Amino acid sequence: MADRRNRPLIVAALMLALFTAALEATVVSTAMPTVVRELGGLSLYAWVFSAYTLASTVMVPLFGKLSDVYGRKPVMLFGIALFLVGSMLSGQAATMNQLIVFRVVQGLGAGAMQPMAMTIVGDIFDLSERGKMQGYFGAVWGLAGLVGPFVGALIVRVASWRWIFYINVPFGVASAVILMAAFHEKVERRKRTLDLAGAMVLTGAIVALLLGTQGLHPAPLIALACVLTALFIYIESRAVEPILPLGLFKSRVIAVSSITSALAGAAMFATITFVPLHVQGVLGGSPSDAGAAIGPMVVAWPICSAIGGRLLVRVGYRPIIRFGMLLVALSAIALPLLLRPGTPVMVARLVSIGFGAGLGFSQTAVMIAVQTSVGWEQRGVATASTLFFRSIGSTLGVGALGAVLAATFRRSMSSVSEETVNRMLGPERSQIDPAVLHSLGTTLQEGLTTIFWAVAAIGVAGFVAGLFFPSISLRPAAAPAPPTAADDKVGSEAPTAPAS
């Protein structure tokens, strides 16, 4: 369905788009303590991340379905445009509430960028090539992870934190221009129906669940989320073209991949979100130290992704997924055991390496297994569903754990102003009374320890889920067989049936 002749240019454009998204994650994480110091609102700290991941999460299955209907290119270009608009608006934010709203816009665009990039790769490369491509794309994440923390710290030091959002624009524009010129696809035109009812109900369920996990009237909101989820399942079972086909999850490959992706996403984003806060708030480190603590995660990820991709055709999916999730579990357990007051930042870096290695092995194998188990006409929604569950895990995990941190401060530091708490995260911490500063640090450490133990439980659960991944026979990729006859087009491989 996609023209193979321009693959180098297409890959370059996709790498630019992914570089933009990856750079955003590490730069924002590094700069957020500084943003909180200027705009205030430590209690809203986690919402800057949760709003972004929530918006991207609810759009992933919709964009995946739209790409199966209208093609990958228009969906990808729309996502890039929306992401850049959100980036520009975020750079203009005057309050923490405004920043959260603008991050929603940015997240809506991100909901198209990563799933479309991964789906296009699945379209234009066969199974034997995807492992190699995962290594290349992983290298992009690694480069962004390597330079992101330092770029974030440099921007905060010499300019304004607002440039952490403006920096996205040139990369996004370049990606869109190359895609418009080089990427061509032919989509079978026939009358389609769009499952808008399912999309709206799913969005309502996710929003209700997130708000409930944030501690805002949890009982009624979580009950509402359960009701809406049941309604969504009912709608999907009757929809002509469901946004998230329930039949996909009859496959153990996709069912287990969804669960492990959700748990891996929760552990990963909790680490990215709260380890920098530990470094600056508890250890008194700089923004550079905070970024350097998580940077190794996205460096180890591509290295192990490339290794795992090459090992895949020799040992199969299951051993790589199990080994990767074991590394994630061990790294998660290390968080509460090792990250203590006075612990060197190097310890956090070593834990981040373990996380990155585990995610690189497991998530690469999971994605290739999912894409190989379906044909072209379902590859977009199948890829998107796996990323959707990873995002769900990230969103709910960070949201719920952020609520834990906020509750800890409300309970223990009611006599301390929020302004004082915000000053703890910057150079002004030296101006805070030592007794108050010690009390603040102790309270923050108490909340973070609880959070890290929760991350440990999530990591162990992810490893247990990975043990249930089925054994799949690795067969040579079949010749391209697109749904419509066209020269120089790529279709799908023959689906690989999972063994029980």
In a domain, 163, yes or no: yes
Q: Residues 296, 347: contact at Cβ < 8 Å?
A: no
Shared domain check, 352 and 229: no
Establish if 496 belongs to a structural domain: no
Structure tokens at 261: 């992706």
Q: What is the pLDDT of residue 34?
A: 78
Task: Write down which residue in 239, 255, 274 finishes a domain.
Answer: 239
- Residue 285 burial (CB count, 10 A): 19
pLDDT bin (cut points 50, 70, 90) of residue 192 is: low
Closest-CA residue to 132 (of 364, 404, 462): 364
Residue closest to 291 by CA, chosen among 397, 421, 151: 151
Say how many domains are in the chain.
2
CB 262 within 8 A of CB 479: no
Asked if residue 499 is part of any domain, the answer here is no
**Long-range pairs for 343-346: beta carbons < 8 A, 24 or more residues apart:** 343/283, 345/279, 345/283, 345/285, 345/289, 345/292, 345/293
The 10s digit of each residue's pLDDT in 83-139 is 999 999 998 988 888 998 999 999 889 888 888 888 888 778 776 677 677 667 766
Tokens of 493: 């491989």
Neighbour count for residue 382 (Cβ, 10 Å) = 27
Residues 6+ apart with CB under 8 A from 263: 393, 458, 459, 461, 462, 465
In a domain, 474, yes or no: no
Domain stop point among 239, 255, 272: 239
Per the structure block, which two tokens stand in for 142? 């690694």
Confidence of residue 479 (pLDDT cuts 50, 70, 90): very low
Give the pLDDT confidence score for residue 215 in this predicted structure.
61
Asked whether 352 and 296 are in contact (CB, 8 A), the reply is yes
CA–CA dist 437, 152 (Å, integer):
26
171 and 207 inside one domain = no
210 and 320 part of one domain? no
Report yes or no: 36 and 428 within 8 Å, Cβ to Cβ: no
Mean pLDDT of all residues in 360-372: 86
The one-letter code for the residue type at 44 is L
Whether residue 88 is contained in a domain is answered as: yes
Same domain, 93 and 190: yes
**Pair 388, 283: CB distance under 8 Å:** no
Half-sphere exposure of 462 (CA within 13 A, CB side): 38
| Same domain? 231 vs 373 | no
What is the four-CA torsion angle of 432, 27, 364, 187, rounded to 10 degrees?
140
164: tokens are: 């952490």
Nearest to 387 by CA among 201, 114, 200: 114
Residues 408 and 356 in one domain: yes
If asked whether residues 96 and 210 sit together in one domain, one would say no
| Per-residue model confidence as pLDDT tens digits over 314-339 | 888 899 999 999 999 999 999 999 98
Q: What is the 8-class DSSP label of residue 385?
A: H
Buried b (16+ CB within 10 A) or exposed e, 317-344: bbbbbbbbbbbbbbbbbbbbeebeeeee
Q: Rounded mean pLDDT of 373-385?
A: 76
d(CA 362, CA 367): 9
- The predicted model scores a pTM of 0.71
| Residues β-bridged to residue 320 | none
For the record, the structure tokens of 454 come out as 């929760």
DSSP per-residue codes, 389-425: HHHHHHHHHHHHHHHHHHHHHHHH-TTS-HHHHHHTT
Query: 85: how many CB neighbours lie within 10 A of its CB?
Result: 16
Residues 207, 279: one domain? Answer: no
Residue 19 belongs to domain spanning: 7-195+240-466
C-beta of residue 30 within 8 angstroms of C-beta of residue 212? no
pLDDT tops 60 at residue 477: no
Percentage, residues of the chain above pLDDT 70:
83
- At 208, the pLDDT band (50, 70, 90 cuts) reads confident
Give the pair of three-digit tokens for residue 176: 């869109």
Q: Identify the CA nearest to 21 among candidates 121, 148, 131, 124.
A: 148
CA–CA separation, 305 and 326 (whole Å)? 15
Do the domain assignments include residue 17? yes
Based on the fold, state whether residues 260 and 208 are members of the same structural domain: no
Q: In sequence order, what are the beta bridge partners of 2? A: 185
- Mean pLDDT, rounded, of the chain: 80
Residues 299, 259 within the same domain: yes
Domain-located, residue 21: yes
DSSP symbols for 196-244: HHHHHHHHHHHHHHHHHHTTSSHHHHHHHHHHHHHHHHHHHHH-SS-SS
Residue 103 belongs to some domain of the structure: yes
Q: In the numeric block, which tokens belong to residue 24?
A: 């955003």
210 and 125 in a single domain? The answer is no
Q: For position 457, which CATH number holds?
A: 1.20.1250.20
Report, as an integer, the average pLDDT of 3-28.
Answer: 80
User: Do 217 and 346 fall within a single domain?
Assistant: no
Helix (H) or strand (E) holding 91: helix 72-91
Q: Provide the 3-class DSSP secondary structure of residue 481.
A: strand
pLDDT digits (tens, 9 = 90+) for 255-302: 999 999 999 989 988 888 888 888 887 887 777 787 778 878 877 887
